[in-house]
Amino acid sequence: MRTQVAIIGSGPSGLLLGQLLSNAGIDNVILDRVGREYILGRIRAGVLEAGTVQLLQQAGAGARMQAEGLVHDGIDLAFAGRHHRIDLKSLTGSPVTVYGQTELTRDLMDHREATGGRTIYDASDATPHDFDTARPFVTYDKDGTTHRIECDFIAGCDGFHGICRATVQDRGIRNFEKIYPFGWLGILADIPPVHHELIYANSERGFALCSQRSRTRSRYYLQVPLTDTAEAWSDAAFWDELRRRIPADVAERLVTGPSIEKSIAPLRSFVAEPLRFGSLFLVGDAGHIVPPTGAKGLNLAASDVHYLFEGLQGFYGEKSEAGIDAYSGRALARIWKASRFSWSMTTLLHKFPDSGAFGQKIQEAELDYLVHSTAASAALAENYVGLPY
């Protein structure tokens, strides 16, 4: 098989890149080691920056998001028993859109199928080869046979544990990483959200987040030690602890119900440099991970796609290599700014093992300054809604 761009990974970044390329007449094939239903079974976040929303619309897969997504003009910061609203729209001119990543992925899959795009699921051992030569190719196994796809470029959209970054570990790549000493215990439940916008809560007992997927489906999180397991937390214990970490007036409005999904996600910050190795490009989680506190993971994957698509479009449309040459530098500049913001939000809102009472008071003082200073609120809002591409 021959294609122009081989994409390894059919998560949001691979699907979005593939659709933009197809729309521009650039042939591509997407490979994934698992099946469609397995991918759609993964629960992920869903706060979308305006740039991500625009890319989905550009891809032609934004109709359901436009109809069902929840536009949020602000967020709440809760601390010391009170909560304060940060008006994102008035401070920056932009809102964010809450739309589950699972639904976004489904929309991209359906649109790719409807427009004739090629996706090969259950393609095990998909591996990039000769990406430092003029004849790169990808191999994969399916139905007991090894297949080969010759291509011009390879996009590694295969996630943090994928083969693409592992393949270049001995080629001068640098990994920067911070592991946080806690995780997020998350519950998904078919209950109305406690608030129409997200609430980020700092408390002496630890961080909590009141989030949502729709007007009838809620997502809540608690900071927990890495030694905890989801199975050790009953639904009742989760709701009781959440009430202790959010302001009393919010806790009184909380509607509870049985969880339909419960899991613990460890938190880490990770960036790989560079993101280009010959004709191989790392995209999304293959090249970077941020803690979910700043709602940047999916949005950074989208900005990577934006930069790479621009580069490939310039290569095929204008015979220029300027865009693909600039991809790594442009993407990393935005990645590091978002990593700084996510680290800052994580540091500000979570309880750290060695922080003590003094650390708690410093966090509360910083939060109090942030919500009462227009300049500080504007800086937070600018980062939260997304820096320009």
Residues 6+ apart with CB under 8 A from 306: 51, 55, 389
Q: Residues 140, 316, 327, 384: which is the catalytic one? A: 384
Q: Residues 195, 274, 292, 307: which is the catalytic one? A: 292
3-class DSSP state for residue 102? helix
Annotated active-site residue 84? The verdict is no
Distance, in Å, from the CA atom of 235 to the CA atom of 191, rounded to the nearest integer, reads 13
Ramachandran sector of residue 116 (left: φ over 0; alpha: ψ -120 to 50; beta: rest)? left
Question: Would you say 228 and 185 are in contact if contact means Cβ atoms under 8 Å apart?
Answer: yes
Question: Would you say 1 and 148 are in contact if contact means Cβ atoms under 8 Å apart?
Answer: yes
* DSSP labels, 298-362: HHHHHHHHHHHHHHHHHHHHH---HHHHHHHHHHHHHHHHHHHHHHHHHHHHSPPTTTHHHHHHH
3-class DSSP state for residue 184? strand
Q: Residues 200, 221, 307, 327: which is the catalytic one? A: 200
Convert 294-317 to b/e letters by CB count within 10 Å (16 or more is b): bbbbbbbbbbbbbbbbbbbbbbbe
R_g of the chain, CA atoms, integer Å: 21
Question: Would you say 10 and 32 are in contact if contact means Cβ atoms under 8 Å apart?
Answer: yes
Q: Residues 72, 195, 288, 350: which is the catalytic one? A: 72
Q: Residues 111, 195, 288, 296: which is the catalytic one? A: 296
Annotated active-site residue 72? The verdict is yes
**DSSP 8-class letter at 202:** -
Placement of tokens 């980020």 in the chain: 200
Please tell me the number of Cα atoms within 13 Å of 67 on its side-chain side. Answer: 5
Annotated active-site residue 389? The verdict is no
Please give the positions annotated as active site.
72, 200, 292, 296, 384
